[in-house]
Amino acid sequence: MTNPILEVRNVSKRFGGVEALRDVSLEVKRGSITGLIGPNGSGKSTLFNVITGFYKPDSGSVYFEGRRIDGLNPNEIYNIGIARTFQIPRLFGSLTTLENMMLSPRGQKGESLLRAPLRKAWVNEELQIANEVKNLLKEFNMDGAYRMVASSLSGGHVKMVETSKGILGRAKLILLDEPTAGVHYAVGRSLFEYISYLRKTANLTFFIIEHRIDLLFDYVDYVYVLHMGRLLSQGTPEEVASDPKVIEAYIGGA
């Protein structure tokens, strides 16, 4: 529990003249739920993009389980165990729920060009994954939805499917970008309940950007606050909530 699963060291990133991130350092502890908050445009999404390989930091480095990962491509980062979700869920609209979920497990044997036409090579793995998907759908109470096209799913279901990607992908760390945006408060709460349930049962680590601070603070262990690309404050939810700098930033930002 002591060694951090993710370590961001002195990361800076600028776009043209705008400094999106400036000397940001933070750690996410294994098995924790860590929050990342900050006003709009404070660099939260940029930080996620740096971690998941979309941007290469101008300076600084990112370590995952002691391995340096900045400079890896996004797919490589997924394959070492970091999954991410998007603020606006990016499901594959015209594919069914089943297909969407079947895409998540990493390193599938049948995803190689040479093995794909040989059914024998991948059929067992495929059945195993499908079983897992079936159980997961049951858990979500969406048994019948496997046949539905993703673009016709309801908002809550979309969030569920999006979150399930990390579980199916056997990710160690899941980055959630505003998981409750656009869903009802109660659904959001049940989502967070599910997240903390997963943390306990599946030993997953979560790193969450969230705007609904009240909701977030009920579940997280540790919170980082970004403001204007800089780390403003950090600590347990209680500490952060009482930090005058944070209050000022939020009022100033709003």
Partner 1 sequence: MFDIVSFLVSWFPIFSIYAILALCLNMEIGYTGMANFGLVAFYAIGAFVAGYTSMTIFLSFYGYNYPIYSLDAIITMGKIAGRTPWLNISVFILSLILAFLVAGLAGYLVSFPTLRVGPAFLGITILSFGEMLRVFMKHFQPTGGSYGLLGIPHPFAWVSDPLIKNLLFVIVTLVILILVFIYFELLANSPYGRALKSIREDEIASLCLGKPVPRIKAELLFVASGVSGIAGALYVFYLGSVAPDMFVTAVTFEVWSMVILGGRGNNMGAILGALIFSLLNRATAILNFIFLDLLIDPNYIRWMITGILIIIVLMYRPKGILAEKTVKTDAWRIFGEAQRDWDRITAMIQVANRYLKRAFHWLIGRETK
Partner 2 sequence: MEVPRELINTTWYTCLYSLMAVPLTLSYRTSKVLNFAHGIYITIGAYIPVFISRGLGISVSPIIAILSSFTAGAILAMVSHLAVFSPLIKRKATPVTLMIASMGLWIFIKYALYAALSILQRSWMTQLTYTNPNIDIPSSISFMGIEINARLLLTILLVIVVFTLLTLFLMKTKTGMAIRAIADNPELAQLTGISREKTLLIAWAISGGIAAIGGFAWSIFAYVSPETGDNLILQVFACSVIGGLVSLSITFIGAIIISSAENLLIILLNRYFGVELSFRPFLSFLILLLTILIRPPAGAGGGLPYRYKITGYISRLLRRREENV
Among 56, 68, 119, 138, contact with partner 2 (rule: CB under 8 A) = 56
Cα–Cα distance measured from residue 228 to residue 91, given in angstroms and rounded to the nearest whole number: 31
By the 8 A CB rule, do 221 and 32 touch? yes
Q: Which is nearer to partner 2, 55 or 192 (CB)?
A: 55
Give least dist CB 4 to partner 2, A: 26
Joined together, the tokens standing for residue 197 give: 């349930």
Q: What character string, x for contact with partner 1 (CB under 8 A) and - otherwise, covers 101-130?
A: -xxx-xxxxxxxx-xxx-x--xx--xx-xx
The residue within the footprint of partner 1, chosen from 10, 25, 73, 203 (CB under 8 A), is 73
Sequence letter at residue 239: E
Contacted by 99, from partner 1, partner 2, none: CB < 5 to 8 Å by type: partner 1
Residue 73 is a binding residue for partner 2 (CB under 8 A): yes
Query: Site for partner 1 (CB under 8 A): which residue of 22, 84, 172, 199?
Result: 84
47 is written with which tokens? 């930080």
Q: Phi/psi class of residue 203: alpha, beta or left (left: φ > 0; alpha: ψ in -120 to 50)?
A: left
Q: How far apart are CA 194 and CA 207, in angstroms?
A: 15
Shorter beta-carbon distance to partner 2: residue 55 or 64: 55
The entry of partner 1, partner 2, none near residue 97 (CB within 5 to 8 angstroms by kind) is none
Strands in 18-29's sheet, in edge-to-edge order, are 18-29, 4-15, 59-64, 67-68
Which of partner 2, partner 1, none does 230 bind, CB closer than 5 to 8 A by kind? none
CB of 123 to partner 1, least distance (A): 5
Would you list the DSSP string of 28-96?
EETT-EEEEE-STTSSHHHHHHHHTTSS--SEEEEEETTEE-TTS-HHHHHHTTEEE--SS----TTSB
For tokens 């391995």, the residue is 67
Binding region for partner 2 (CB under 8 A) = 49, 54-56, 71, 73-74, 76
Give the footprint of partner 1 on this chain (CB under 8 A): 52, 73-76, 78-79, 83-84, 86, 90-96, 98-99, 102-104, 106-113, 115-117, 119, 122-123, 126-127, 129-131, 133-134, 146-147, 165, 169
